[in-house]
Amino acid sequence: MAEIGFYHLTRTSVDQALPALLGRTLEAGRRAVLRCGDAQRVKAMDEALWRSTDPLWLPHGSAAMGHGALQPIWLTAGEDVPNGATYLFLIDGVNCPDAAAFERVFDLFDGGDPEAVEAARQRWTIAREAGHTLVYWRQQAKGWSRGGR
């Protein structure tokens, strides 16, 4: 079973929060897949990661660029994992039917959107019933605070 972290964004957008989390993933020697809601969002996240200044360099790719096996971070609107990633990042309320295939799953959601919060609660319930280890993280003025399991 995977450890699934629910990341409740309260002060920044996904585009602003993801670079630091992805940077730590690469520092830990892991590969990641970022699953987006649709192809337009993949393109927007690609642009956002190239513009990142902290960390300055986030090597990544998508189907538009190819060479999936070589990409440390793979961006997709599907369920493909061509880079052998063990970390999965979910945005846009994307569901994860294959969470057990990953070591860690990061589910980021907008705390200012009541529908996104409710959808995250539903995903939490499904993941708990499936037997995954759950962790709740809430964005603070600086960093994150860990909540109950």
Q: Where are the domains of the chain?
A: 3-147
pTM above 0.85, yes or no: yes
Q: What does the pLDDT read at residue 147?
A: 84
Mean pLDDT per 10-residue segment, the chain (149 residues): 96 95 97 98 97 94 96 98 98 94 98 97 96 96 82
Report which residue type is found at 146. Answer: R
- Which CATH code is given to the segment(s) 3-147? 3.40.50.10110
Could you give the C-alpha distances from 54 to 11, 18, 21, 83, in angstroms and in order? 17, 10, 10, 23
Which pLDDT belongs to residue 1? Answer: 87
Question: Residue 148 has what pLDDT?
Answer: 57
> What DSSP designation does 142 have?
S
CA-based diameter of the chain, in Å?
A: 40
Q: For 53, phi and psi rounded to 5 degrees?
A: -110, -10
